[in-house]
Each structure stands twice: as structure tokens, then as C-alpha cells.
Chain A
Amino acid sequence: MNVHRRELIRRIGLIVGTLLLAAFLFPAIADAKSKGRPLEPGEATALIKTLGDAAVAMLSDKKLGQVEKIRRFRHLLNESFALKGIARFALGRYWRRADSLQRRRYLKLFEDYIVNSYAARFGNYAGEQFIVSSERIDERGGAVVTTRIQRPGGDPVKVLWHLRERQGAVRIVDVMVEGISMSLTQRSDFAASVRTAGGNLDAFLDTLEAKVRNIKPSG
């Protein structure tokens, strides 16, 4: 009994020691990781302008079929957005629990989910103008580009684009529409959905898959 206890204490000591060491080292690691290259002024604006022009060109081209529009949209999405990061953020704590098979399935579904959500709205395009108004570099070296989407006859919508540099690429990490973060809203939706599924990630992924199929625009 005594031997066991000593063994137990030794193990606990080892675990606590490792944890302390990790706690000491980890912030440094996390810090090094989270620091991308600070963006140059104008860099983010140029990217958003290019994206806006490409999106407007795609949406207003009446000769393009829906399939081709979706293909172009998917390309823009992957080029301009930190899609994987946004997907991970949207799944929150459940991402860490997911195994690699679930992660792969989720990432694929997430992309299709975004593509299908927006593809259903391609037809609603009515000559909206995309105007870049200003840019701000934040204290962490990321950039926030302020744009206005002017609807003909409607109220303008203010949209903020948050960009960061990671692994050599400048990408969008969040879009804020009139003060509301799309990433955060998605995260709340998903968190509640996984909870409704009793924390069962596979059940959530089934629901997500059904949603993706449901919102798929016809044609």
C-alpha cells in the first residue's frame, strides 16, 4: 500500500512538474505563433479592392452560369479568406475534441456550407456598389478595412474586413456587417447545435450535411 502511495505521489509530482513547465513554455510558443508579419499600409486595402472587383464582376456577368459562378466564388473564398481558421474558430472547443476524420469531414462541409449559403443569393445581385472607405492597422499588426456596400435605392451597409498575415499569406479572418461578426455568429450557432446534439460531433456533422444539402440553390 505504502509503495503504491509513494508511486502515486511520484507520478503526481511528475505530472504537476510537466504542467508547470508547459505553462511556462507555452505562452512563449503561442506568442511566437500568433505574431504574423505586420501588414504594410495599403496592403489589405488592395486585397479587398481586388476581391470586391472580382466579386462584382462575377455577380454582374449575365453570361456566366450558376455552376461557373459557384466555381469562381469557391476560388475567391479559398484565396482571400483564412477559411480553415474561421472554420476551426466556428467549431470552438469541439474542434479540439474532433478526431482527424471528423475534422476533415467538417472542413469540407464548412466550405460547402458557406458556398451554398452565398450561392443562393447570387441571383439577388442588383447592381450593388462596393466602396472601400478606409483602413486601419491594429496593434497586433492586422488590418481592418472599412467598406460600404451601396444598394440602389436602399440604405448603405457598412462592412468591416479583418485581415492578418499568417504563413506568408494575407487573408481575411472576419467580416463584420454593421457591427456584427460573421465568425462569432457562426460560432454561436454551431456551439448551440452541437449542444443540442448532446455533444455528439458526428450527429452535428450529419445535421450540417443535411443543411448544406437543403440550402443548395437549384440549377
Chain B
Amino acid sequence: MTLDIKAIIVRSRIAVIGLASILALAGCATPPPASDEEAMAAFKEANDPLEPLNRYLFEVNRGLDNLVLRPIAEVYRGALPDHARNSVRSLINNMETPNIFLHDILQGEIERASDSFGRLVTNTALGPLGLNDVAAGDNPKMPEAGIPFHNEDLGQTLAVWGMGSGPYLMLPVLGPSNVRDALGSAVNFYINPINYAVRQDNRFWFSATRQVVRTIDSRSRNIESFDEIERGAIDFYATVRSLYRQYRASEIANGRGPANPLPEMSEELEEDNEAERVSSVTK
């Protein structure tokens, strides 16, 4: 029950990967024959024409995770007490908040924009400097009292503006993405206000450092849940692909409405009149 999927997905905000070079490298998945409509529908639903290449990169990323990211995340978790790690996360989140505010506005989300603005002011002034998320309240007895962190980025704004996700992509090192989100991350480097807080020649490293810290911090919070998902999955690649999609859909929907409704044609749920019990165990 402790699946915190949020940060399992190592997201990218500094995609500097040339999309074109990936596409050029790509081997393509073979679509099923057009006569098999169900198979064709499933192929389109997966929306993963680069699957063979993506699967290969997924394995490379898993290797890197095992060799580098996970050990660092374990040391980080072991060395720092919880409140210190929370400070690291608050600081990184606070630096990201001007960008989030901007995207709240671009998406026409006035209430969420005012939340972001309030969080920025409160945490910068009283945090202090964003070192504590005082705006969120962090009171387990009254979790609804504060204003919790929410994330926005260019990928989400483009989605709200009506841009489709494009095919699924597995970016080397950076992890799961899609054409829209990868493009969004790359371009957002130039939009993010905090990047203009440092001199131009330091900008790339400033952004990259924030991303690395964020990645280590979120990995450290998901070591066990990630293991559980990996152990339970039959096709781990397909599971992560589905998790990434649903996670982004839910972020884009800002938690409103059914971001991922069960397909209503799910006649499987209705098929027969037998009792729902599978096993014969009784109390």
C-alpha cells in the first residue's frame, strides 16, 4: 500500500538530448497486420513505435540506476536525517516555484497560481530561504490546513493547450518521457525564471545540479516501492510505461476529474452473472 509512484519516475527537466538523433537511431516496432483490429487498437494504445530501442535504453537506465543512482540514494538516505532531506527537497521545490507559478498562469489556473505565489513568499521568508516547507503546514493532524506543493512544467502547459503527447520515449539517463514532455523539458530551460538568477555561463550547471539533487532525493524516498513494483511486474518496462502515462495524465488534470478513467467499454467488468468470488475460502 505504500506505493509512492510520484518520484519513481525519474523525470527530466533539463532534456538536452537531441531528439532527432534518437529518432535517427531508432529501430521501429512492427505494427500488427491492419486486419487484426484489436491488436491494432492495442498497438495504438501503447503509442510506442520505438519500443525496441526504448526497451534497450530502459535496460541501460536500469543498469545505471543499479550502479550509480540507487547506491548514492541509499548513502544519502542513510547519512542524512529525515528533516535534512526534507529541507533539501523544500529548497529545490522552492527554487522551482517561480516556474510553477508561471505555468499556473499560462494554464489559466488562477487559484493554483495564487497558491504557488503564496508558497514562494511564505517559504522564502519564513522557511527561511525555502529550507522548510512551512506553507504546507506539515501537520499530520491537519493535513488539509496548509497549501501543499504542486508541480507544473512546460509539458503540462502544452498538454493543457491541446498538444498530444506524441510517442513514448525512454531517454538515456533521464528516464521515461514522450515527445511533448522531452521537448517541454528542453525548452523550459530557457523559460525557468530561476535560471536567470545566475550568470549565463553557469546556467546549464545550475540547472543540471538542481536536477541531480532532485533525482537523488526522490530516488531515496522510493527505494522500497520501486523494488516492490519491479518484483511484482511481469513486464517491468510496460508497467513503468503505464505508470509514467498515468502519472502525467493525473498531473495534467491537476487532480480533478478522472484523469485515468477505466475504459468504459470495459465489458470485462460486466461479463457474466456468476458471483464475484474467485476462491472458496470462507471465514
A residues with a Cβ closer than 8 A to B are 30, 33-34, 71, 74-75, 78, 81-89, 91-93, 95, 107-108, 110-111, 117-118, 120-121, 124, 128, 148-151, 153-157, 159, 162, 166-167, 169, 171, 173-174, 176-181, 183-185, 187-193, 195-196, 207-208, 211, 214-215
Contact = CB atoms under 8 A, between A and B. Distances in A.
Interface of B: 1-6, 38, 42, 46, 82, 140, 143, 221, 224, 228, 231-235, 237-239, 241-243, 246-247, 249-251, 253, 255, 259-260, 262, 266-271, 273-279, 281-283
Contacts of B243: 180, 185
Contact of A149 (B1, B38, B228, B231): B1
26 contacts: A74-B279, A74-B281, A84-B278, A88-B271, A89-B268, A111-B279, A121-B2, A121-B228, A154-B2, A156-B143, A157-B1, A162-B262, A171-B276, A176-B260, A177-B3, A177-B5, A178-B5, A179-B247, A181-B246, A184-B246, A187-B242, A189-B233, A189-B234, A191-B42, A192-B46, A192-B238
B268 A95 contact: yes
Contacts of A108: 278-279
A170 B235 CA distance: 32
A184 B237 CA distance: 15
A167 B278 contact: no
Interface of B, helix, strand, loop or mixed by DSSP: loop
Contacts of A159: 1
A153 B260 CA distance: 29
Contacts of A154: 2
A151 B44 CA distance: 39
Per DSSP, chain A at the interface is helix
A192 B235 CA distance: 7
A189 B5 contact: no
Which 10 A/B pairs are nearest by Cβ-Cβ distance? A179-B250, A192-B238, A188-B242, A88-B268, A192-B235, A85-B269, A193-B234, A89-B268, A180-B246, A111-B278
Nearest to B248: A179
A151 B277 CA distance: 31
B250 A184 contact: no
Contacts of A83: 276-278
A166 B270 contact: yes
Q: Which of A86, A159, A192 has the most CB of B within 10 A?
A: A192
B231 A124 contact: no
A94 to B, nearest CB: 9
Given A78-B277, A179-B253, 18 more contacts: A78-B281, A89-B269, A92-B268, A111-B279, A118-B1, A151-B2, A157-B3, A162-B262, A171-B276, A177-B1, A180-B247, A180-B250, A185-B242, A188-B239, A189-B239, A191-B42, A193-B238, A214-B231
